[in-house]
Structure 1
Amino acid sequence: MGDGEALDLGNATAEWITAPHVPHGWDNGFLFERGTGTLLCGDLFTQPGRGEVALTTDDILGPSEAFRAVMDYYSHSPDTGAVLNRLAALEPRVLACMHGSAWRGDGGAKLKDLAAALER
């Protein structure tokens, strides 16, 4: 899929967001399901542990940043902030993390918080 291209899945529509080198040092992208406002956000908020809770409203940024401090796996691309702000503009309501619990709430704000943490 090309950047911004939508795929009709029948009961859902997924949009591809190209995001080279975010968070890793290789080509990457994210899927956003418009109907539910779910962003499949890969490793953006990787949390340690087994993700005992499938969907949470608890903090995921703090545990993710603590995990990243031990093993910084971000590429720190000069475009990282712009990519995170683009994802925030989608106003996701669910952040479906690859590692750890998925999170429900103001995903746009959470992505902006991540961008600010990475700038520090």
Structure 2
Amino acid sequence: MRSGFEDWDFFLTLLSEGGTIGIVPEPLIEYRTAPASANIRSMSGRVDLYGLLIDRHRPLFEAHMRDALLALESRAILASARAEELMVRHPEEPIGDISYGDGGMASAVRIASARAAR
């Protein structure tokens, strides 16, 4: 994990070996970053690094797959609702290509209906 996410890999290794991780309520360190830091640079390869983490810790990911996928879906629903609000407030913006199977069509209908009601 020399390209980034080494801290995440470390924590997952602890968990996979039966360890636990706790959250301390007060800050114990000061964290700073800069545009040239490895933390920022690693974001360009985030999908590949995340895939590597999944491959390295597959049993841990599989054990929590349902909860993780449902949490991601919940975040996607919130992000979609925010995007819909913006689209309704800015009718000059085109709706664009509509996706299917992920709520895209329903979202486009809600936006068009709300725009027409204004």
Is the structural similarity TM-score above 0.5?
Answer: no
- If the length of structure 2 is used for normalisation, what is the TM-score? 0.27
The higher relative CO (CA closer than 8 Å, separation ≥ 6) is in 1
Give the helix-richer structure, 1 or 2: 2
